[in-house]
Amino acid sequence: MEKVPMTLRGYEAISTEVKHLRGVERPAIIQAIAEARSHGDLSENAEYHAARERQSFIEGRIAELEDKVSRAEVIDPAKLSGGSIKFGATVTLVDCDTDEEATYQIVGDIESDINNGFLAISAPLARALIGKSAGDVFEFTTPRGTKEYEVLKVVFK
């Protein structure tokens, strides 16, 4: 059974989602199915089929999240230190060609959200960053070609 690394923030968010799905979504969909059943013939009842499909999605999501939580290896980035990039680090990079800066926190796969600055540990950029330190310059191949980045700052918070 492989451990799933995640930050404390990610673990709490997943736990909250499981509680919401179990305590709010599951009872609501059970009620919707019961109501749709009361309308009669189930073979032509679109409400019933939609509710059953939603129930299937909810149950699948609960199972997926509970699996991740049970295998979670929770790492609190605030307790980490050092100058090299590893899981949990918040990294500020600059594109050497455009001087555009970007900041990412390296997190577990399930909690990644690149639009909000959370980079999955399995992402190619995160793998390229692991072990680098502030001041390091490295090349990274993107779909648009090779880019050169400099690591400006590494913090653990």
Q: Are residues 84 and 15 in the same domain?
A: no
In the beta sheet, which residues pair with residue 75? 7
Q: Are residues 100 and 63 in the same domain?
A: no
- Considering the entire predicted model, what is its pTM? 0.79
Q: Are residues 38 and 63 in the same domain?
A: yes
Its domain, for residue 109, covers 77-155
**pLDDT tens by residue, the chain, 157 residues:** 789 999 999 999 999 999 999 999 999 999 999 988 888 777 778 888 899 999 999 999 999 999 999 999 999 888 888 889 999 999 999 999 899 999 999 999 999 999 999 999 999 999 999 999 999 999 999 888 899 999 999 999 8
Give the CATH number for residue 12.
1.10.287.180
- Considering its fold, how many domains does the chain have in total? 2
